[in-house]
Amino acid sequence: MQTKANTKKDLSFEDFKTEVLNDYHIAVTSRECSLLGRREVLTGKAKFGIFGDGKEVPQLAMAKAFKNGDFRSGYYRDQTFMMAIGELTIQQFFSGLYANTDLAEEPMSAGRQMGGHFATHSLDANGNWKNLTKQKNSSADISPTAGQMPRLLGLAQASKIYRNVKGIDTTNFSVEGNEVAWGTIGNASTSEGLFFETINAAGVLQVPMVISVWDDDYGISVHARHQTTKENISEILKGFQRDKTSKGYEILRVKGWDYANLMATYEEAAKIAREEHVPVLIHVNELTQPQGHSTSGSHERYKDKDRLNWEAKNDCNVKMREWLIENNIATDEELLTIEKSIKKDVRDAKKLAWTSYLKPALSERAELTTLLKTVANSSPNKVFIEKLANELADISEPSRKDSASAARRALRYVIAESTAEKQHLIDWIDSFFAKVQPLYSSDLYNESKTAAIHIKEVKPTYDQNAEDVDARVVLRENFDYIFNKYPETLIFGEDAGKIGDVNQGLEGLQEKYGELRVADVGIREATILGQGIGMAMRGLRPIAEIQYLDYIMYALQIISDDLATLRYRTKGRQKAPLIIRTRGHRLEGIWHSGSQMGGVLNLVRGIHVLVPRNMTKAAGFYNTLLKSDEPALVVECLNGYRLKEQLPTNIGEFKTPIGVVETIKEGADITLVSYGSTLRIVQQAAKELAEVGIDAEIIDVQSLLPFDINHDIVKSVQKTNRLMVIDEDVPGGASAYILDEILNKQDAFKYLDSQPKTLAAKQHRPAYGTDGDYFSKPSTEDVFEAIYAVMHETNPSNFPKLR
């Protein structure tokens, strides 16, 4: 079903006719899929539908201009485009609608995303890069509107890096930076801040990016007059139009039903972006949405009769059909024959998709019903178990949930029995979940031998007379080594370039490695992350710097919805090994010393969250991550850059292990668990506690996601029988997460003689100044007194009440 532009200069009429009729065939096929897809949802076979009807013809034009090596970062209505580039069959379309968990049947996400969310495979089954220059590529879609825009920026910037930075192995990723990143978005979603941030950033960076705005005058049920100033996105973006004296955008406008002009417009846009590395915006207007926004409602509820009549007459497929007849390319009879054939093809493929979806569930149901009858025959509760088996057998189109539920409910009826049949049922349930659960839960992280958790620790080494330097120097020297060893690495952020970041961890490196590899960027955190995601998806190893942890909130949606879910939502067929560098904790005031760790930990499952206590540990994490292929957030201690650390002799080679804790002081009375800047306070408190006879063991978490994979903390608790988690996050934040890991996953409660405690900051953000810090976050005295209180409760005679 792939559409290919005929590249011959002298195209015969017959060749032209064949090509155009093939395009029409794809457009009609896509429309029939949308129409039948809606019916499948309304009859209950599928859960939800959101389709690309009304956008077919402009997507054909986009597909014509789209070349091998190019990337799409799009909108959940681009099914026609995916069909046109040969990456979506009719059967795959319906397999996605039914949520088939077989990647061979549903290659977009193996049923993890709703239909309309498209992806190609950048990785093979072993997790190795495919040759992306030999295929047409689609980055995996997400539902949050405009959330695809920041990633689009990075996909485009990768071409600029590949074209202009020497020494990178481009074999699988680029041909002289000629690849274009194509974005699509609905007109209403251009109201989102992520769209405007991306527009501005791409204009500044001058990257080969083409954005198509599909404009059908509505955003769900809300008309454009409530969405966009002047009801016209290209009109209000006129200021971005490039001219002879200023760089900017090329802005093009075209009607979405005008097949001939669409082809010419997209050819022009591709040429500008590909050759000149200039971003292009194509405003495709006068489009329709014949079935409304989604299967959740009907557009007749919010469109008046005049609008509905206009849409019926100006539907892009209808207009293309008229154009074919008017230009003697096909007769009405010929087109009717084509359309009739397509209806049958779509119905047949839909049936095949449904049969394939049901097949494993039917097999599992048959196996279970036989087992349940055997269990029933050996049980006093036979009548109840047989009832479950019969009810399950009567379901004409069972889901896996039906079988799982029936098996687990049946087990309750034999709870007091001890029979071989009961054990067979238990074994069936266990094996069923062992087989089926990974279909919905695998690949959140790298599960192969190349995972970061398998990279062994390499300790820093020191000369006998090792030099004490500002800790920032350790980072600077390590980054210097990284950029020299890995030409595909680059770092960018606010103040990261010319001045070498606000804490001088990159001092002098822009001058040494150039402005493309050590780069300043504007104040725009979301698209800083987007740059990193997109470039990482194309084989580069970017380090995106967010100046302070507090400001990661601007980018948290992108980290959570896009980066953290990428490997999962493609079932391991795409990856973005982006390193996010930031600094936080223990400075001054509400906006420069917050601790968002609790929120971060709950929202970014899928990336590693690393909290080194000093810059040597941080540098070791960067070295570890660059040996792996997983995304991570590294939070450096904001108040640690000017503290003294020894300069290792094996800069760039030492590695901090991920998911491994470190005992930095052994003790016998209580286990203290903390991380980052707070550890220095805990260490000081431990010294003072020793003066009153309390011997504390201190454990540095180092890595929050993943957390203590070797379960070393429980070994400490087994020795001390007491536990306290100290953290400068809000109560119930990271400290609660850590406590949950220790108690519920490591079962440390078995060894406790005292109530486990947490000590966190106050609920409010920290107030400004030294006193503000003291009365907002845990102090040495707070730690001392909290631990002393635990020991007083244990042995009041040895540790009389303090106050």
Of the residues 592, 630, 645, 728, only one is catalytic, namely: 592
Q: Residue 632: helix, strand or coil by DSSP?
A: strand
Residue at 293: amino acid letter: H
Strand partners, 504: none
- Cα 221 to its chain centre, rounded Å, is 28
DSSP state of 399: -
Q: How many other β-carbons are positioned within 10 Å of the β-carbon of residue 153? A: 34
The tally of CA atoms less than 13 A away on the side-chain side of residue 614 is 17
The tally of CA atoms less than 13 A away on the side-chain side of residue 563 is 36
Tokens of 273: 């972006």
Residues 6 or more apart in contact with residue 39 via CB below 8 angstroms: none
Size of the chain, expressed as the number of residues it contains: 803
DSSP state of 299: G
The closest of 451, 404, 481 to 624, measured between CA atoms, is: 451
Of the residues 525, 630, 645, 697, only one is catalytic, namely: 525
The closest of 506, 600, 590 to 556, measured between CA atoms, is: 600
**Residue 392 CB-density burial (10 A; 0-12 exposed, 13-18 middle, 19+ buried):** buried
Tell whether omega for the bond before 706 is within 30 degrees of 0, i.e. cis: yes
Q: CA angle, 307 as apex, 301 and 313 as ends, to 5°?
A: 125
Give the helix ranges, DSSP H, for 43-134.
56-65, 79-84, 90-98
E strand or H helix at 362:
helix 332-377
The closest of 86, 84, 19, 21 to 52, measured between CA atoms, is: 84
Gap between the Cα atoms of 648 and 468, Å rounded = 10
Q: How far is CA 87 from CA 16, 31, 67, 135, 147, in A?
A: 23, 17, 13, 10, 22
Gap between the Cα atoms of 142 and 146, Å rounded = 9
**Residue 416 CB-density burial (10 A; 0-12 exposed, 13-18 middle, 19+ buried):** exposed
Tell me if 96 sits within 8 A of 434, measured CB to CB.
Answer: no
DSSP state of 765: P
Gap between the Cα atoms of 658 and 746, Å rounded = 18
525 is catalytic: yes
Tokens of 316: 């892009």
């810059």: which residue's tokens? 615
Phi and psi at 506, nearest 5°, equal -120, 25
592 is catalytic: yes
E strand or H helix at 759:
strand 757-759
Q: At what angle do helices 525-537 and 148-164 cross, to 10 degrees?
A: 60
Gap between the Cα atoms of 105 and 96, Å rounded = 8
Tokens of 308: 């509905």
The closest of 54, 102, 532, 497 to 299, measured between CA atoms, is: 54
Residues with a catalytic annotation lie at 525, 592
